[in-house]
Amino acid sequence: MTKITVETIRAMKARGEKIAALTAYDYPMTKLLDEAGVPLLLVGDSLGMVVLGYPDTTHVTMAEMEHHVRAAARAKPDALLGGDLPFQSYETVSSAVENAKRLVAAGAEFVKAEGGREILSQVQAIVAAGISFCGHLGMLPQHVLEEGGYHIKGKKDAEHQKLLDDAKALADAGAFAIVLELVTPPVAKEISQSLLIPTIGIGSGPDCDGQILVTHDLVGAFPWFTPRFVKPRVNCAAEIKSAVAAWKNSLG
């Protein structure tokens, strides 16, 4: 495989080719997913729940993100590898640029942050610093506490219009892609059709330009919670438990 770049991902949309994206938080999983041919990998702050045991992503720190981005980057994937700017790490223009540079120094080839026009000056500054940026609209997990849960976005007219306007603003600011999380499928479709840059959906229906999942959800490695929109393709948790039980029983 040849190295995937931001341009490769944009060209996939232009060709109408669906973009597969998954989360990866460490060396072996990054290597496995890369060998499986996934072109877009994200060290998401979802690692807070599925790796670090936090109740939500608001506890994840820059130091933790850097640690996991470094581990994933050591796999030297052909896939494009990005990292999430964690909660409160991009509240000002200067902190956004400084922390985006820290993730790049750790090995991220792009950074992602949550929000639309409210973080536009941060996005413009990150792009002006020469760092590729991926947007994230819809349900914003870093806002879960103030929103009181993970709610679907785009049902109300005002939400629908805000999503369209935010997506256009992020694209105009230079984002190379936008994650749409828990956006109603018709609105996700409309946004995808209105932009030249790809949308990567999660729980937002089939008409986004690509799809991203938390890998642990896809392979059943975090059995204590699976989002309703994910159908695990393998039950890793059960496989591990039965392999361990078989080994333990073999000891006599």
- Calpha distance 53→33 (Å, rounded): 23
Please select the residue that binds ligand KIV; options are 123, 131, 170, 179, rule is CB under 6 A. Answer: 179
Q: Which residue has the tokens 């073999």?
A: 250
Q: Which of 135, 142, 217 is nearest to 179 (CA)?
A: 135
Binding residue for ligand KIV, selected from 85, 119, 125, 212, defined by CB under 6 A: 212
Interaction of residue 182 with ligand KIV, rule CB under 6 A: no
Could you say which of 30, 46, 122, 192 contacts ligand KIV (CB under 6 A)? 46
- Is 66 a binding residue for ligand KIV by CB under 6 A? The answer is no
Contact call for residue 44 and ligand KIV (CB under 6 A)? yes
Choose, by CB under 6 A, the member of 34, 45, 64, 66 that binds ligand KIV.
45
- Which of 64, 181, 190, 239 is an active site residue? 181
Residue 147: active-site member:
no
Strands 40-43, 80-84: pairing kind: parallel
| Number of residues that make up the chain | 252
Please report whether residue 103 would count as binding ligand KIV according to CB under 6 A: no
- Separation between Cα atoms, residue 119 and residue 96, nearest integer Å: 9
Environment class of residue 4 by beta-carbon count within 10 Å: exposed (0-12), middle (13-18) or buried (19+)?
buried
The contact set with ligand KIV (CB under 6 A) reads 23, 42, 44-46, 84, 179, 202, 212, 214
> Which residues are the active-site residues?
181
